[in-house]
Amino acid sequence: MKIKVSEFVKSSSGIEQCPPPEKAEFAFIGRSNVGKSSLINMITSRKSLAKTSSRPGKTQLINHFEIDKKWLLVDLPGYGWSKVSKQKKADWGIMIEEYLLKRENLACLFVLIDSRLAPQPIDYEFIAWLGEQEIPFVLVFTKTDKQSKTKFQSIKAKHVREIKNNWEEMPMMFESSSVDQTGREQILNFIGEIVSDFKM
Ligand code: GTP
Ligand code: MG
Is residue 36 in contact with ligand 1, taking CB distance under 6 Å? yes
Verify whether ligand 1 is closer than 6 Å to residue 17 (CB atom): no
- The preferred substitution site among 43, 52, 61, 181 for testing ligand 1, maximizing ligand atoms within 8 Å of CB, is 52
Q: Which ligand is nearest to the CA of 81?
A: 1
For residues 111 and 78, is the Cβ–Cβ distance under 8 A?
no
Q: What pLDDT, in 10s, does the model give residues 122-134?
A: 999 999 999 999 9
pLDDT in tens, 131-150: 999 999 999 999 999 999 99
pLDDT of residue 70: 97
Q: Ligand 2: distance of its center to the CA of 51 in Å?
A: 6
- Does residue 63 line the site of ligand 1, with CB under 6 A? no
pLDDT for 81 beyond 80: no
For residue 9, the tally of other CB atoms under 10 A from its CB is 14
Q: Give the torsion sign (CA, 69, 106, 181, 54).
A: positive
Ligand 1 touching residue 178 (CB < 6 A): yes
Give the number of the atom of ligand 1 that is nearest the alpha carbon of residue 55.
3
The answer on pLDDT for 35 being more than 70 is: yes
pLDDT at 160: 97
Q: For residue 90, name the pLDDT band (cuts at 50, 70, 90).
A: confident
Residue 104 backbone zone (phi > 0: left; psi -120 to 50: alpha; other: beta): alpha
93-55-82-76 Cα dihedral, nearest 10 degrees: 10
* Whole-number Cα distances in Å, 81 to 4, 36, 47, 156: 34, 14, 25, 23
50 close to 59: Cβ distance less than 8 angstroms:
yes
Question: Which one of the ligands is nearest to 36 CA?
Answer: 1
Residue 60 has pLDDT above 90, yes or no: no
Ligand 1 near 115 CB (within 6 A): no
Tell whether ligand 1 has an atom less than 6 A from the beta carbon of residue 32.
Answer: yes
Please tell me which residue, 60 or 80, carries the higher pLDDT value: 60
Average confidence score pLDDT of the chain? 94
Closest Cα to atom 22 of ligand 1: 35
Q: Which residue has the higher pLDDT, 92 or 162?
A: 162
Q: Quick one: three-class SS letters along the chain?
A: CCCCCEEEEEEECCHHHCCCCCCEEEEEEEECCCCHHHHHHHHHCCCCCCCCCCCCCCCCCEEEEEECCCEEEEECCCECCCCCCHHHHHHHHHHHHHHHHHCCCEEEEEEEEECCCCCCHHHHHHHHHHHHHCCCEEEEEECHHHCCHHHHHHHHHHHHHHHHHHCCCCCCEEECCCCCCCCHHHHHHHHHHHHHHCCC
pLDDT for residue 111: 98
Confidence category of residue 6, pLDDT binned at 50, 70, 90:
very high
Question: How many other C-beta atoms can be found within 10 angstroms of the C-beta atom of residue 24?
Answer: 21
Nearest ligand (C-alpha, residue 39): 1
CATH no. for 6-197: 3.40.50.300
pLDDT of residue 82: 64
141 and 173 Cβ atoms separated by less than 8 Å = yes
pLDDT in tens, 156-165: 999 999 999 9
Q: Which atom of ligand 1 is nearest to the CA of 41?
A: 11
